[in-house]
Amino acid sequence: MRVVVTGGAGFIGSNFVRGRLAGSADEIVVLDKLTYAGRLENLRDVAADPRFRFVQGAIEDPDAVAGALEGVDAIVNFAAETHVDRSISEPDAFVRTHALGTFVLLEAARAHALRYLQVSTDEVYGSIEEGSFTESSPLEPSSPYSATKAGADLLVASYQRTFGLHTLICRGSNNYGPYQYPEKLIPLMVLNALAGDRLPVYGDGRNVRNWLFVEDFAAAIGFVLDHGRPGETYNVGGPDECENLAVVRRILELCGRDDSLIEYVTDRPGHDRRYSLASEKVRALGWSASMRFEAGLERTVTWYRENEWWWQPIRSGAYRDYYLRQYGFTLGP
Ligand code: NAD
Ligand code: DAU
């Protein structure tokens, strides 16, 4: 199959591309705008593969999309603005990419009768105190990030019902692992702990997330692309749930630091308390998570320790200004 992977220079997209080139005969075209979160470094080890091609462009640009689509069979759309905090301070790009960008991709998929897989998130369901969300739970998003992702999901579903497009939606829980930009909880805490910087914990630190190793999510998306039923949505939850504070304390241990680096900071507005997904439907297709959180976290800390080439340019660039705006304090030298 020839697949266009939009947002393939980001964290999950690049892991998907790597896994797919290694485990299938697919040819892959990555279409990516290269925002601050999209980095060719994420694709460095597949760049020379003859089955791989990179096109720089935005999903909301119909010409860029048309240019990437020649001869393809499917679109897998990872392209998104993905950080909840940024959606609170600067929501514009979230609306543009998730609403307009998804629309442009759907129109292109319709014109060429392509299979279309939308990568979505558990955040579209909102927060849940007890139990787990199924695919038929109502959508109650809390942030501009999750609201625009939910809107995109609804648009995708409408193209299936109205135009008969072969659509699929995968809603993943919190991913972690190699190549994740250090604005997200785990890589931010790992790099700060390694450097001896403060670790900013929002609110009381008791929010719960359902952790999913990135290679497991990438494999599930491939599974759904190959075996999913057209028009269906599949939840993909991780095997373990954990409070933020427990995650942060374990990272400190793995980095040889103590709790004195923890700094409690003002809570995120509209902060969802807990996410939890029921994933029976995707398991019935034959997928299951292979990585438990404890082992995956150790592997992730090791990866960041060993790949300073990847994160050093981020920590020394514009990221420092973002960090000051977001947290009100700076990183060490
Ligand atoms: P990321 O921020 O690491 O990467 C996003 C990628 O999309 C970047 O390469 C960026 O350059 C590209 N992009 C952004 N806007 C674009 C546009 N308008 N046109 C083309 N490319 C654009 O994100 P991620 O964490 O890898 O998330 C990928 C997808 O998975 C997103 O749709 C996200 O909502 C979803 N998701 C993420 C998680 C998670 O925990 N990170 C969990 C579930 C679902
Ligand atoms: O659940 C899936 C979602 O997971 C994805 O759709 C999003 O793209 C992804 O960003 C992620 O959203 P979260 O808001 O859950 O992830 P984040 O890493 O931003 O935060 C995880 C938890 O940690 C959350 O409760 C907020 C808290 N946190 C986060 C940061 C960055 C802190 O306490 N301190 C921090 O500095």
Share of the chain above pLDDT 70, in %: 100
Q: What mean pLDDT comes out for the span 99-121?
A: 98
| Ligand 2 centroid from CA 63, angstroms | 34
What pLDDT is attached to residue 320? 93
pLDDT tens column, 299-318: 999 999 999 999 999 999 89
Q: Answer whether residue 14 shows pLDDT above 90.
A: yes
What pLDDT is attached to residue 145? 98
- Residue 57 and residue 7: Cα distance in Å, rounded? 10
pLDDT tens column, 177-186: 999 999 999 9
The per-residue pLDDT of the chain, averaged, comes to 97
Share of the chain above pLDDT 90, in %: 98
Q: What mean pLDDT comes out for the span 144-149?
A: 98
- Residue 93 and residue 87: Cα distance in Å, rounded? 8
Q: What mean pLDDT comes out for the span 274-299?
A: 98
Q: What mean pLDDT comes out for the span 234-251?
A: 98
Catalytic residue annotation: 122-123, 145
What pLDDT is attached to residue 317? 87
Q: Is 123 in the pocket of ligand 2 (CB under 6 A)?
A: yes
| Ligand 1 centroid from CA 247, angstroms | 23
Pairs from 323-326 (Cβ < 8 Å, separation ≥ 24) = 325/89, 326/85, 326/89, 326/183
- Residue 184 and residue 322: Cα distance in Å, rounded? 13
User: What is the band of 333 on the pLDDT scale with cuts at 50, 70, 90?
Assistant: confident
Tally the residues of the chain: 333
What pLDDT is attached to residue 332? 82
Q: How many CB atoms lie within 10 A of CB 292?
A: 13
- Residue 166 and residue 267: Cα distance in Å, rounded? 41
What pLDDT is attached to residue 82? 98
- Residue 187 and residue 191: Cα distance in Å, rounded? 6
* Ligand 2 mutation target, pool 11, 35, 143, 174, most atoms within 8 A of CB: 174
pLDDT tens column, 189-226: 999 999 999 999 999 999 999 999 999 999 999 999 99
Smallest-distance ligand from the CA of 98 = 1
Q: State the angle between helix axes of 244-254 and 185-195 in degrees (0 to 180), rounded to the nearest 10.
A: 40
- Residue 120 and residue 225: Cα distance in Å, rounded? 14
Q: Answer whether residue 149 shows pLDDT above 80.
A: yes
Q: Is 12 in the pocket of ligand 1 (CB under 6 A)?
A: yes
Q: Answer whether residue 227 shows pLDDT above 80.
A: yes
- The tally of CA atoms less than 13 A away on the side-chain side of residue 254 is 24
pLDDT tens column, 55-69: 999 999 999 999 999
- Residue 226 and residue 332: Cα distance in Å, rounded? 46
Q: Answer whether residue 130 shows pLDDT above 80.
A: yes
